[in-house]
Amino acid sequence: DRRTNAEVAAELIEKWRDPKANPNDVLWPLSALNSHIGALSDELVWIAATESTGKTAYALQMCVTLAQKGIISSFCSLESRRDKLIQRLVGMVGGINTLRLRHRLASNEEYDDVHKRVVPRIDELPIHISDASMNIEQIHAWARAEVSNGSRLLIIDNARHVRPSKTY
């Protein structure tokens, strides 16, 4: 690369000026984050907080928001089982509190309504969910496969549960 630093800076500024020049950027589901942090391009982002503060819910909501715009995302849960994540999707996509459903307090009509209204919407969402236990090499292979399948956002939840491997 024989460009000067000033030439690289000028190209970056022109790229930043035109949102269409960055088609792979992914917007946060909260507009405040987009205005303060900016869109995600090829960054590695850690969302860290104490236990049970909503990190998984936020990450899953990010996938839903992007999926509703047709953006493929992949969610690798090293902590929660897939059915628990789908349970959350039912609530998010259906805009419902699933407590009555989960505690078998809903009527047959309510179950039928949720099934008819929500399940097809979940099926349409381009969200890939894996709940396999993985080591770092397997996560890398999973990530490469998901990107080759069109995913523009990869989420690994919860890094604390990455299994050790012989290499690392």
What's the pLDDT tens digit per position in 111-158? 999 999 999 999 999 999 999 999 889 999 999 999 999 999 899 987
Alpha carbon 168 to chain centroid, angstroms: 26
Ramachandran region, residue 70 (left: φ > 0; alpha: ψ -120 to 50; beta: rest) = left
Which residues make Cβ contacts (< 8 Å) with residue 44, sequence separation at least 6? none
Higher pLDDT, 30 or 94: 94
Where would I find the beta strands (DSSP E) of 96-163? 127-130, 153-157
Q: Does the pLDDT at position 73 exceed 80? A: yes
pTM over 0.75: yes
| Range 49-70 average pLDDT | 89
Q: What percent of the chain has pLDDT over 70?
A: 98
> In which band, very low, low, confident or very high, does the pLDDT at 77 lie, cut at 50, 70 and 90?
very high
